[in-house]
Amino acid sequence: MLVAPPDRVQDLRELAVGRLGERVEELIDLMVERYRHEISAYAELDTAVLDDEVRATTRRNVVVVLDALGSGRRLGGEDLAELGRLGRRRAEQGFPLEAVLRAYHVGAWVAWSAFVEELGNLDLGSAPDVVSEVLSHAGSLVLDLATQVAGAVADAFMAATREAAVAGERNRHDAVDALLDGSARDAAGASEIARRLSLDPDALYAVVALEACDAGGPPGATPLVEVSVLADVLGCVASFEPVLVHTRGARAIGVYAFQERPPPGVLAAELRRELAGLVELRVPGAAVRGVLGLAEDGVEGIATSYAQASRALAAGRRLALPPEISAYIDLLPHMLLAGSPQILRDLRELVVRPLLPPGGRRAEALVDTLGALLGMPYLSAGEAAFRLGVHRHTLASRAGRIEALTGLKLKEESDRRILELGLLAHALTGAERRSTDLVPAPDGIPQYASGGDSSPGAGGDVDPSRSRVLQE
């Protein structure tokens, strides 16, 4: 087999590349025409863009590649940097990566075909076999150049895509934060955010906020819930699909849209039922507290509904209320009383203190009985007595004692309202004391301090487990 001298191979390669250099504009025309017919992303561009930017980019790439092929060198740092800038630009323009790489494949094939053609047109005299060696050597160079080009373009393209995704998510996050904070209350700002987030500006919006809480058990017994898990749970509710799911710190937030104002209690009950099952499935044994704000008008109403949920969540933490999904409207009495310490004390003194003489389980029984009697509009006397585990005559006797001790009549509507508020004030007083006894454990999980009148069986406040009548 004849082996051509290296100098001869290099000379022929440079000669063929030199003749290609005289056909740059022709090569560009061929490449752009094939872009238009073979790659849909380029076919959708108007002629002006093809004639200007794409032709200019193609011209530069052809010149760089021919220079590298003629000299037998790899692409330099500045060449790769320029290819990277082109990859970023194509990503920002919305081109698919496969379309960009396909364009380079098409361009390389046009250039290689022209190189083979020019090599065949050379007068090789008595050494025609040298062509195969020139093609082999040039082919290796072209393959190496194609690998460099594809790597530089793809890396820059993907980096730009990731940055755009991060920026887009950050912009979306900021837009949702603006809605939740009410910082876009003017109509123009809210309308723009609604457009960006694909929200109906005329709908009603209700917000539910979830957060993990300590169930009151031993430190570490209740698994902590990752906010991402809570967000996933919100997105899986079948009955009410959220239009937005958001996270802020350790809180997951769902925004729900309605065309007609839903009854808050009904919506909260449905969410409570579904979310409880989902949380138990995802994080068994976890304690999650959530509040559903009222459905408010328009995109601006998202801030109002979220503020309601936030206030109620804060109250739930301070009052150590049971971890469950509640409607904002259901927690209003708790929040109103807890926000007025003097009224809280006065109601407790008026209604409950007379039922709590020092010592004796009978005093505690009267408090439980009052709760059962206040529930009697929804229970029969027999059911109330059954829940308390007493005879109906015993229930009637205790009712008489309660009226005698408090001076309030169970059948008087205004008196019943005071009795209900007084019993709630009593429960809240105990909850506030329990919440102040929370101390940080070494692992950061709150636990109850020993001692104090909030411990079970202590004098002054009813054991928290005995407030079940209020919740039934």
Mean pLDDT (whole number) for 128-151 = 85
Give the pLDDT confidence score for residue 161 in this predicted structure: 92
Contact 50, 56 (CB under 8 A): no
**Distance in angstroms (rounded) separating the CA atoms of residues 403 and 351:** 10
Whole-angstrom CA distances from 65 to 20, 58, 74 are: 11, 10, 9
pLDDT at 156 over 90: yes
410: three-class secondary structure by DSSP: coil
Give the pLDDT confidence score for residue 203 in this predicted structure: 92
**Distance in angstroms (rounded) separating the CA atoms of residues 118 and 70:** 13
Give the pLDDT confidence score for residue 363 in this predicted structure: 52
Judging by beta carbons within 10 Å of its beta carbon (0-12, 13-18, 19+), is residue 259 exposed, middle or buried? Answer: exposed
Give the pLDDT confidence score for residue 450 in this predicted structure: 30
> Phi and psi dihedrals of 446, rounded to 5?
-60, 145
pLDDT at 416 over 80: yes
Give the pLDDT confidence score for residue 204 in this predicted structure: 92
**From 197-201, 204-208, 466-470, the region with the lowest mean pLDDT:** 466-470
Stronger pLDDT, 209 or 265, i.e. the higher one: 209
Q: Is 0.85 topped by the overall pTM?
A: no
**Distance in angstroms (rounded) separating the CA atoms of residues 406 and 104:** 90
Give the pLDDT confidence score for residue 245 in this predicted structure: 92
**Contacts with 431 (C-beta within 8 Å, 6 or more apart), sequence order:** 319, 320, 321, 464
The residue type found at 99 is: A
Q: What would the pLDDT profile of 237-258 be if each residue is shown by its tens digit?
A: 777 788 999 998 889 999 999 9
**Contacts with 359 (C-beta within 8 Å, 6 or more apart), sequence order:** 459
